[in-house]
Amino acid sequence: MRKLVIGVAALALLAPAAHAQQSAAPVSAAQTEPGRFLVFFGLDQATLTQQGAEVVAQAAEEYDRTGAARIAVTGYTDRSGSESYNLALSQRRAEAVERELVRQGVPAPVIAVVGKGEIDPLVPTADGVRDPRNRRVEIEIPQPVPAPAPAPAPAPVAVAPEAGPPPAPKWTASLGGVYGSNFRETDEGTTAALAGVEGRLEYLLTPNLPLSLEQDLLYAFQSEDDGLAGRSAVGLNLQGNFAGLHPYIGANFGAAYGKGIQDGLVAGPEVGVKFDLSESAFLYGKAAYDYQFRNSGLDDGIAFAGLGAGWRF
């Protein structure tokens, strides 16, 4: 019984010492997250351990890497002493970390140092409890704001090819009045007057070279045999284009027939001019002379002139 009492007493004496030794042992320093480092201290100590100095060196490297403008160094204690003592102890711990940061190359002006004593414990405990995890200094380095992810490239927008100017019209059709004189209606040299309408269809081989087809419906009078006559011809013209004015000169080849005209082949020159009313409409005036192959003289042909209007398409 006596031995049992002595053993219990011995255990009672050894337990506080073991607890005190455990409470005095520092916790390993570490980096807990990007930009946040924890440096732990022994009981009632403000001196950096070797491991603590290594963590401070890591924090200095982080400062260099991020190019941060400020570093916050905050000291803490556990709740085993008075508040005033703990506040002063936490300040000494923070200043010890500051000195090591400066030694590692961090400029002193960028370091903000403060001691907060036993408030804001890492592990909440009752007053008077010695917890090594609360005996610490926290180093906080602001992390650079990550660059925003590049916006996805916009999907290419299909752009319709710009429409060019519409093609110039190739065809024209015109209708007008015509009046002329057949200088030799018969072999005896009788002259006849001719009046009627002329229809004309043209195709532009080039902007300056229209090919034409003419059809005249005429009435012959003041002749030996008054009545209806006709003229059909094809022509090739050389045309100028001058801001709404289109003079031309060309040659026709065809046939004349009917009353007041002895049937036969004709050929001769034509001159004229077109006056634009719009992009598609115009007026024209013309004069032409047809040599009659059946007659021997150049002055025995048919002279005529005309006025009319036309449309491009």
Write a three-state SS string for 49-78. CHHHHHHHHHHHHHHHHHCCCCEEEEECCC
104 and 234 inside one domain: no
pLDDT in tens, 77-114: 999 999 999 999 999 999 999 999 999 999 999 999 99
270 and 196 inside one domain: yes
209 and 303 inside one domain: yes
- Residue 109's φ and ψ, nearest 5 degrees, are -65, -20
State the pLDDT at residue 146: 75
232 and 133 inside one domain: no
Do residues 259 and 221 make contact, with C-beta atoms less than 8 angstroms apart? Answer: no
The residue among 99, 119, 140 that closes a domain is: 140
178 and 308 inside one domain: yes
Residue 122 sits at the vertex; the CA angle it makes with 33 and 44, to the nearest 5 degrees, is 115
CATH number, domain of 122, equals 3.30.1330.60
Structural domain includes residue 49 = yes
The residue among 118, 140, 162 that closes a domain is: 140
Please state the domain count of the chain.
2
**Cα separation, 204 vs 212, whole angstroms:** 9
Structural domain includes residue 197 = yes
Mark 136-162 as b/e (b = at least 16 C-beta within 10 Å): bbbbbbeeeeeeeeeeeeeeeeeeeee
288 and 179 inside one domain: yes
Please state whether the predicted TM-score (pTM) of the whole model is above 0.75. Answer: no
State the pLDDT at residue 297: 75
198 and 288 inside one domain: yes
How big is the chain by its Cα radius of gyration, in Å?
58
* Segments of the chain scoring below 50 in pLDDT: 1-25
**Cα separation, 275 vs 280, whole angstroms:** 11
State the pLDDT at residue 24: 47
Do residues 64 and 52 make contact, with C-beta atoms less than 8 angstroms apart? Answer: no
Angle, helices 50-66 vs 83-103, to 10°: value is 60
CATH number, domain of 187, equals 2.40.160.20
242 and 181 inside one domain: yes
133 and 176 inside one domain: no
**Cα separation, 303 vs 62, whole angstroms:** 107
The residue among 140, 156, 181 that closes a domain is: 140
CA distances from 158 to 154, 155, 161, 162 (A): 12, 9, 9, 12
Structural domain includes residue 6 = no
pLDDT in tens, 20-31: 444 444 566 666
**Cα separation, 309 vs 172, whole angstroms:** 10
**Cα separation, 28 vs 143, whole angstroms:** 24
Residue of 142, 109, 138 lying closest to 121 (CA atoms): 138
182 and 132 inside one domain: no
Structural domain includes residue 162 = no
Length of the chain (residues): 313
Structural domain includes residue 1 = no
82 and 178 inside one domain: no
Residue of 160, 220, 233, 164 lying closest to 192 (CA atoms): 220
**Cα separation, 177 vs 153, whole angstroms:** 68
136 and 175 inside one domain: no
Structural domain includes residue 84 = yes
Give residue 83's domain range.
26-140
Structural domain includes residue 5 = no
Structural domain includes residue 203 = yes
